[in-house]
Each structure stands twice: as structure tokens, then as C-alpha cells.
Amino acid sequence: MRSLAIAAALAALSFSANAETIQERTVACFACHGEHGTSETENTPSLGGQQAPYALIQLFMFREKLRVFDPMNEMAKPMTDDDLRTFSDFIATLPKPTPPTDADDPAWMARGQALAQQNRCNTCHNTDFSGKENVPRIANQREDYLAKTLAEYKDNSRHGYDATMADVMQTVAKEQIGDLAYYIAHVR
């Protein structure tokens, strides 16, 4: 199923090499990342409102295989530097993801908020977690992706552009990742 989706996406991408508009070129991307900035695919990040400089660095890292996830490495491989910029600028203009519609668990939110304050996540990611420059927007990102990627920074299987997040995650216990991800995904 997954490889079928990737094959279709790659076909759309090579087709779109001749197409003019960025809207046409991003059809392949939205198959996984969601059409309106919000992802409905397991473990796949929402891209809406993402900081363009952050997205640019990540696409560059995928292209150079400094960040490893096979489908993304394949998607970024044919991209020129101009392409990377076009895609990242476009991503930033998509609508921001919104919090889940189900009611929050107040105790769970309080635990996550305390951890975020303790670890000063908002000093870099902004008080509303909207990010800034090379620091990503994390507000209302998918909870499953947040938990996965934080665990990967912690065990060093995701290498950031620098060691910032690996350092941050040293003081966060594995068992606390779920609370942080819940809070950030639901923050209003």
C-alpha cells in the first residue's frame, strides 16, 4: 500500500517537472501531507504555516540524506536549490493546522504544560509554539509525529541541523515524551 502511494507520488512529481505552477507540483506532496496544510496520514507532519527557513533546511537535509526517511529522500533527490526554496516558501503560506476537535484531558494538558515550561520549549519555539526562522512551528502538529520525532532526537536517529534538540531531549525522560506531544498537539 505504502509503496504504491510512493510510486504514484513519484510519477506525479516527474510529470510535474514540466508543469508550471507550484500548486500542480505539490499535488504529490499533499497525497501524504494533506491538502490544506493539515496531515491526515499517520506519522506524517502537517506542513501548514511551517517556518519557510526551517522547511528549506529540512528539504535540503533530505536531499543530501542528512535526514533519513526514504520517501522524502526520493522526493527531494531531483530538486534544485530553487525548487527547495519554491516548495518551502509555498508551505509557509498553507493554512496552519488546528487543534483536534475532541475535548482536552485537563490533567494531561497540565502535565504537558509543566514539562514544556520546565524545559523552556517556548524560549526557542515562541510562546505560542509558532516557531521562528530555523526553529519550527510545532503548535498543533500531529501528536503521533511529535512523539515519534522527539524520541528520534533523543536516541539520535534524527539528526538536526545542529545538536540543539538532542541536547534538549537529554533532560527529557522517555516516559515524558507522550505528555509533551499531547500538550503541543492540543495547545490552543
Binding site for ligand HEC (CB under 6 A): 5-6, 9, 28-29, 31-33, 43-45, 47, 55, 58-59, 69, 71-72, 75, 87, 116, 119-121, 123-125, 134-136, 138, 141, 146, 149-150, 160-161, 164-165, 168, 172, 180
Q: How far is residue 67's CA from residue 80's CA, in Å, rounded to a whole number?
A: 17
Torsion on CA atoms 110, 147, 126, 44, rounded to nearest 10: -130
- State the burial class of residue 184 (Cβ atoms within 10 Å of its Cβ: 0-12, 13-18, 19+): buried
Q: How far is residue 153's CA from residue 174's CA, in Å, rounded to a whole number?
A: 11
Q: Is-contact 131 137, C-beta < 8 A?
A: yes
Query: Within a 10 A sphere around the Cβ of 92, how many other Cβ atoms?
Result: 19
- What is the nearest approach in angstroms of ligand HEC to the Cβ of residue 103? 22
- What is the nearest approach in angstroms of ligand HEC to the Cβ of residue 90? 8
- What is the nearest approach in angstroms of ligand HEC to the Cβ of residue 16? 9
- What is the nearest approach in angstroms of ligand HEC to the Cβ of residue 114? 11
- What is the nearest approach in angstroms of ligand HEC to the Cβ of residue 61? 7
Q: Which is nearer to ligand HEC, 30 or 104 (CB)?
A: 30
Q: Which is nearer to ligand HEC, 38 or 172 (CB)?
A: 172
Residue with cell 500531529: 142
Q: Which is nearer to ligand HEC, 71 or 104 (CB)?
A: 71
Q: How far is residue 64's CA from residue 68's CA, in Å, rounded to a whole number?
A: 9
Q: Which is nearer to ligand HEC, 33 or 186 (CB)?
A: 33
Q: How far is residue 58's CA from residue 23's CA, in Å, rounded to a whole number?
A: 20
Q: Which is nearer to ligand HEC, 38 or 149 (CB)?
A: 149
